[in-house]
Structure 1
Amino acid sequence: MKNIALACLALTSLVLVSCTDDLTQIPISAATTSTFYSQTNDFLQASNAVYSDLRGFPDRQLNLSETRSDNLYAVSDGGVRDWEGINSFQKSIAANPYVSEAWTTNFNGIFRANTLLDQLQKNGKVISDAGLRTRLEAEAKFLRAFFYFDLVRFFGKVPIIDHPVTANEAIAIPRSPVKDVYALILSDLTFAASNLPETYAATDKGRATRYAAKAALALVYMTRSGPTYDIEGPGLGVSEWSQALTNLNDIITSGKYSSVSSYTSIFSYTNENNPEVIFDVQYANGLTPVVGATFPWVLVPDTWFQANGKGTQGGLTIRPAALDLVNSYTATDVRKAFSIQSGYTFNGVAETRPFIKKYVDLTRVPTNNRLDWPINFIVYRYTDILMLKAECILRGGSGGTQADVDAIVNQVRTRAGLTAITNVTFPQLLQERRKELIGEGSRWHDLVRSGLIETIMPAWIAAEDVQKQMQPFQKNYILYPVPQAELDAKPGLYTQNSGY
């Protein structure tokens, strides 16, 4: 049972009901809510409503990060698919539904977080427990920062909206410089890291903890430290590796998390909330309204499910995994067989192209609703934190050595069934992250942060684009376009990102 999942979606309809239609158009067209909350439960429901906008986060990372990266060669063989423009760097994707969803849903979450924060300020004294009031404020700020960070990584400049606004106010708010958006993100996460609890009771599993905030803080510092590429994107070219390392070490030395002995058990349907998990998006199945997941099948072709006697899910045609990624695994690497399906036959036709099936347990396929998978999506996990620490050290963060880097990488490799290596370089670490975190939505962000994207992506396209469908990579494609609907809502308010 995923308690926060139940609260997030089942109770959302009880909160901000009058704004349902308007929330799909934040920030250009929005109606504010001035609901007066008269009891503690009202605030808890409002908090749950903010969490509910995490539901699509996993799918977004698979569609906009995994698919955009060199992990997939997602050129369709069955008609035009929405992911093709993402993977192929097409210029005409401003109306792409994946791009629009990223903007809209994140601002939905920001709107709800702002509403909760506003009501806590105005009416929070009805909550007799001062500790709970502070916790709810910290949760709302964590989530607002989380949504804004997602926006910055995909779009660069975005409008700063830190309080409920009317529709007329919204259409006058321009996009702010990335550094100003980061200032809000860092302020919110710093507050969250200082005021969120270290753990929760079982009934509140899934809520953000102090260490989730520290993980987010570390990743923000690292992303800011990436190169600017002269595009007003997520990298500011600052050197905050030491700040990131401090937060990562706080997580590691807390004693709250650890590596599990088996790679496959991290993602087991019967081992959720295991010691690796620092923060995840929680789901539950078999409920009304539906609060299950859809991300397990996003990268999986429907014919594979059919070949295994299951119903179609929605993955449609195949999004092949990149051959250089598949071939980078050695024969003894346990991560390959678990994460990648190398072939299958359906209706007498053999499909030899590999694809990522990391989250699929064929014994757990929903029988009645493809939107109702019972598995959580891990956003921050302990092994990722360790490898981020290694990255900070290699990038100049103080307080670590080459021996620390080697120890971290070899801990990961040993679990995968590989031999130890020494004097690990940054490109080697990046490649190890690619194999460890395959299908988890981190690859595109890793490439952007690394500064190597301008060499890795062109070389990969030259080697893998056998159908000659991909556009030449250019640095402008590090960012996605501002959704066309946002440009059309108030012509002249936003300027489109370069390259589109």
Structure 2
Amino acid sequence: MQTKFTRTLGMLALAAGLTALSTGCTKDLDQVPDYSANAEVVYSDPAQIQQVLARLYATYAVSGQQGPSGQADISGIDEGFSNYIRVYWQLQEITTDEAVLGWNDGNLPSINTMTWNADNEFVRATYDRIYYQIGLCNEFIRQTTDANLASRGITGATATTVKQYRSEARLLRAMSYWHIVDLFGGGPFATEADVLGTLPQYKTRAEIFAYVESELKALDGTDASNGGLLAPKAVYARADQAVCWTLLTKLYLNAQVYTGTPRYTDAVTYANKVLAANYQLCTTPSAQFSAYQKLFLADNNTSEARNEIIFPIAFDGTRTRGYGGMTYLVHGAVGGTLSPATIGINSGWGGFRARQQFTALLTNNTTSTSDARRSILYTSGQRLNVDTLTAFRNGYLLPKYKNVTSTGVKGSDAAGDFPDTDFPMFRLADVKLMYAEAVLRGGTGGTAGTALDQVNEVRRRSGSANLSAVALNDILDERARELYWEGHRRTDLIRFGRYTTGYNWALKGGVNSGRDVDATRALFPIPNTDIVANPNLQGKQNPGY
């Protein structure tokens, strides 16, 4: 895709009032972009429309217009720190018991210790990145209406294909608005229907929840033959019907947190759809790796692992180069005596470690000593306890993601800088555990067996014995063991009422033993930069900030 055009999309997002500039969401609303290929030209060509759609997916994986750095999408922070997967992962993982990231960059330590404020640049980068993606999706959806396609001579089967692209863009936008609901509660809101140049209005958490639900329900049941979503597994790494159902399951499972009203039967309904969609747990090990480990290797797009992954963010060591995403997750977990070569990279960054509370959960007597999930722990030269944030030898290592294939071959980048490993944003084991939880919480209509059946199927895959019974707390613990470092832990702890109070971990609240923090920490603040830039956000800051 042309560099100038993708930059144009970013500027058009500014005009819609949804920018990602560090100085605020609305600073450059009336700026006129300088571009050589305008929207009328691009959206008259189906091939270029497909390229724009590809950019919507790529925004999760890359951080700018050039790669691996240069011409960043958003400003106000080092480009490597601004990648979507990287910033989202940080807020979901290093604010919990699962991980610490002991670098001293800017205000990063306060993310680890749950002491951030509304000026924190890492919180702001997450907010900016989400709204940047929403802005890109809005413009794509605006330009591909039936009327616009017809006026540009796009008709028949070609128009149906573009309408299907439009459905995918709507689903991607809904996912980003879900991230706003989950991380920030309410926030500025705009769609393709908003007049360019106007400041976005604030919507509450419940209002954005309702919008996301309505968009996903509208997309549910459509198919590509009439411009709807692709069928499950039709094309790898595309936002298809199963992605829509998985997102609805997540939305409803957390509905009581988001709106105060439980929706567990709805969560069961959509989990049932995913569980009936012909995904399978990866259960066949290779000579070098367990079946579980195959999910996080450089060939997880072609091995049996792809049958479990519902929505991957695709990475390629020669085509999606950047310092966020999988580059960050693979390199950041390597250091100390752990050999980078065994991970398929040239060097480790000495960043992530497991906090001791999570290590205890991963290795307690509920799991087999040979459980594939706990076998990833690397202890040589490492201390169990994290009591100094910046000491890399404090805390065991978890090199879960690797840039080698299931046969032990290094990824495609000869230098070993950039991985081929895809990030599994949604996968079947997660849905099985969500189904089990929703049933235990009182959701009705289950057709995929009992909660215990689903939990034990996940456990058996990794080599742990069946449980004889399962309770809600077992689900929380099993989700931690199965899904650690995949971006779920903060949301799970909040849903179980154990994020801010009732459970503490090393350095939580800024003290070694951990302490309770104010309940308002369950949401991140709207960045002050955006409140200053948009008068519609005045008085709308989340409590406690």
Shorter-normalised TM-score: what interval? 0.7 to 0.9
Tell me the CA shift for residue 182 of structure 1. Answer: 1.5
The residue that corresponds to 2:541 in the other structure is 496
The residue that corresponds to 1:28 in the other structure is 26
Tell me the CA shift for residue 492 of structure 1. Answer: 6.8
Of the three residues 68, 89, 93, the one matched with 2:95 is 68
Tell me the CA shift for residue 111 of structure 1. Answer: 1.1
Of the three residues 361, 376, 379, the one matched with 2:422 is 376
**Count of residue correspondences:** 466
Other structure's SS at 2:254 match: helix
In 1, Cα distance between equivalents of 2:454 and 2:248? 21
Equivalent pair of 1:174/1:493 in contact (CA under 8 Å): yes
AA aligned to 2:317 is N
In 2, Cα distance between equivalents of 1:166 and 1:24? 18
Equivalent pair of 2:115/2:509 in contact (CA under 8 Å): no
Tell me the CA shift for residue 263 of structure 1. Answer: 1.1
Tell me the CA shift for residue 445 of structure 1. Answer: 0.8
Equivalent pair of 1:383/1:412 in contact (CA under 8 Å): yes
1:342 aligns with 2:379: yes
Query: Cα 1:488–1:12, aligned 2, differ >3 Å: closer, same or farther?
Result: farther
In 2, Cα distance between equivalents of 1:27 and 1:321? 35
In 2, Cα distance between equivalents of 1:350 and 1:103? 29
1:244 aligns with 2:277: no
Of the three residues 332, 357, 362, the one matched with 2:370 is 332
Equivalent pair of 1:335/1:416 in contact (CA under 8 Å): yes
Equivalent pair of 1:402/1:423 in contact (CA under 8 Å): no
The residue that corresponds to 2:170 in the other structure is 141
Query: Cα 1:47–1:417, aligned 2, differ >3 Å: closer, same or farther?
Result: same
1:482 aligns with 2:502: no
AA aligned to 1:45 is Q
The residue that corresponds to 2:182 in the other structure is 153
1:357 aligns with 2:399: yes
Equivalent pair of 1:71/1:321 in contact (CA under 8 Å): yes
Other structure's SS at 2:237 match: coil
AA aligned to 1:341 is Y
- Render the CA deviation track for 1:214-243: whole Å, top value 9, x for unaligned: 1011111112133xxxxxxxx212121111
In 2, Cα distance between equivalents of 1:258 and 1:300? 25
Equivalent pair of 2:94/2:111 in contact (CA under 8 Å): yes
1:255 aligns with 2:278: yes
Other structure's SS at 2:188 match: coil
AA aligned to 2:51 is Q
Point out where structure 1 has 5 or more consecutive residues left out of the alignment.
1-10, 227-234
In 1, Cα distance between equivalents of 2:2 and 2:187? 26
1:112 aligns with 2:136: yes
Equivalent pair of 1:296/1:373 in contact (CA under 8 Å): no
**RMSD of aligned residue pairs (Cα, Å):** 3.2
Query: Cα 1:81–1:318, aligned 2, differ >3 Å: closer, same or farther?
Result: farther
Tell me the CA shift for residue 48 of structure 1. Answer: 1.6
In 2, Cα distance between equivalents of 1:441 and 1:288? 21
Other structure's SS at 1:294 match: helix
- Render the CA deviation track for 1:274-305: whole Å, top value 9, x for unaligned: 21011110111223876984242364255556
AA aligned to 1:386 is K
Tell me the CA shift for residue 138 of structure 1. Answer: 0.9
- Which protein has the bigger helix share? 1
In 1, Cα distance between equivalents of 2:311 and 2:273? 15
The residue that corresponds to 1:421 in the other structure is 467
Equivalent pair of 1:390/1:408 in contact (CA under 8 Å): yes
Of the three residues 283, 291, 316, the one matched with 1:284 is 316
TM-score (norm 2): 0.77
Query: Cα 1:465–1:42, aligned 2, differ >3 Å: closer, same or farther?
Result: closer
In 2, Cα distance between equivalents of 1:147 and 1:465? 28
AA aligned to 2:26 is I
Query: Cα 1:12–1:223, aligned 2, differ >3 Å: closer, same or farther?
Result: farther
Equivalent pair of 1:138/1:191 in contact (CA under 8 Å): no
Of the three residues 60, 81, 84, the one matched with 2:109 is 84
In 2, Cα distance between equivalents of 1:259 and 1:344? 32
Other structure's SS at 2:487 match: coil
Other structure's SS at 1:341 match: coil
AA aligned to 2:246 is A
Other structure's SS at 1:378 match: strand
Of the three residues 46, 49, 52, the one matched with 1:46 is 52
Equivalent pair of 2:97/2:355 in contact (CA under 8 Å): yes
AA aligned to 1:277 is I
AA aligned to 1:324 is Q
1:385 aligns with 2:391: no
AA aligned to 1:215 is T
In 1, Cα distance between equivalents of 2:485 and 2:280? 22
Of the three residues 184, 190, 205, the one matched with 2:236 is 205
Point out where structure 2 has 5 or more consecutive residues left out of the alignment.
62-82, 223-227, 285-290, 383-390
TM-score (norm 1): 0.83
